[in-house]
Amino acid sequence: MELERNWERNWWNKARATPFIEQDAPGARAALKADAPALAEFELCHDAAMLEDAEFLEHLRASGVWGAQKKLPASPRLAYMAARTLTATHTATPQDILDAWGDALAKRQAAAPTDRTTLELLAFLYVQVRDRPRLAAMDLQGWRTLHLRPFAESYVVGRIIAGQPVDDELAQAFAEFPDSDILGKLRVQRAKDEDARRRALPAYVAAAFANVAAPHDGFGGLNGYMRLLAEGTSAK
């Protein structure tokens, strides 16, 4: 339903695909009819897809998800959708959500380390409140357990910001994600000498243009990267 809520009509326009949402809803209701709590949470997910933010927030308050009770939904996806709407509308801050749900979310993630939705929600909240130690733990989990590139990138960058040793982690991350221009650039920037920098440059350029259908379009474009490669200078 989230995909259908933000349906890509073309490469620059998104809109709610109401017919698709309503086509899928009866099947979900039929599958969940014997589980009243799960069905109630599905209806809130459906509300998130179909209603404007103000109406969805009223439903969250009425159900006790937010407001006086602040009950963490059993559904990780509903928790994610609720937190997104609460922060986007400035109804609650990320710290407010952590104060209400943080411990329960951490326990949920520890019990289900492959639950990507809870992992991404915690990582988002930790980024927003600048809790680097807890973010590092989520990043490492997302990298080592789920093998997700954004978590590997965030983990390596976090170690650099914290002034921690990172050469081994950077090498391991780039070996797993050679298409990461972020990691490729860090290898160039952190090369110990000019010879090492020149060896790192071709991989950086290749990573920046790994997807020729959607090439990296930063400053200078392809010509800039090729000039950088030809000159053998540091990436800036």
* Lowest-pLDDT choice from 12-21, 47-56, 167-176: 12-21
Do 108 and 141 fall within a single domain? yes
How is residue 157 written in tokens? 């960058």
Task: Tell whether 206 is covered by a domain.
Answer: yes
Q: Which has the closest alpha carbon to 40: 9, 71, 84? A: 71
Task: Tell whether 43 is covered by a domain.
Answer: no
Is 143 in contact with 155 (CB distance < 8 Å)? yes
Does the pLDDT at position 167 exceed 70? yes
Do 88 and 153 fall within a single domain? yes
| pLDDT at residue 2 in the model | 67
Note the pLDDT tens digit of each residue in 94-135. 999 999 999 999 999 999 999 999 999 999 999 999 999 999
Task: Tell whether 56 is covered by a domain.
Answer: no
Task: Tell whether 63 is covered by a domain.
Answer: no
Residue 90 CA, distance from chain mean position = 20
Do 160 and 222 fall within a single domain? no
Q: 63-77, 150-164, 196-210, 215-229 — which one is most confidently predicted on average? A: 150-164
Query: 10 lies in which domain range?
Result: 1-34
| pLDDT at residue 232 in the model | 60
| pLDDT at residue 158 in the model | 96
Does the pLDDT at position 176 exceed 80? yes
Do 91 and 155 fall within a single domain? yes
**One-letter amino acid of 124:** F
Q: What is the dihedral of CA 149, 151, 154, 160, to 10 degrees?
A: -90
Domain boundary among 177, 193, 221: 177
Q: In which element (H, E) is residue 230 found?
A: helix 221-231
Do 204 and 166 fall within a single domain? no
Share of the chain above pLDDT 70, in %: 86
Do 166 and 210 fall within a single domain? no
Do 165 and 88 fall within a single domain? yes
Task: Tell whether 103 is covered by a domain.
Answer: yes
DSSP state of 177: -
- What's the rounded Cα separation, in Å, for the pair 87 and 57? 11
Domain boundary among 161, 177, 193: 177
Task: Tell whether 45 is covered by a domain.
Answer: no
| pLDDT at residue 213 in the model | 52
Q: What is the dihedral of CA 55, 56, 59, 61, to 10 degrees?
A: -100
Total domains in the fold of the chain:
3
Do 194 and 147 fall within a single domain? no
Do 192 and 153 fall within a single domain? no
Task: Tell whether 99 is covered by a domain.
Answer: yes
How is residue 155 written in tokens? 């983990």
Q: Helix 194-208 and helix 181-189: axis angle, to 10°?
A: 170
- What's the rounded Cα separation, in Å, for the pair 220 and 223? 6
Do 79 and 129 fall within a single domain? yes
Does the pLDDT at position 1 exceed 70? no
- What's the rounded Cα separation, in Å, for the pair 176 and 193? 24
Do 166 and 120 fall within a single domain? yes
Does the pLDDT at position 47 exceed 90? no
Q: What is the mean pLDDT of residues 205-230?
A: 63
Do 154 and 189 fall within a single domain? no
Domain boundary among 177, 205, 228: 177
Does the pLDDT at position 235 exceed 50? no
* Lowest-pLDDT choice from 23-32, 50-59, 142-151: 23-32
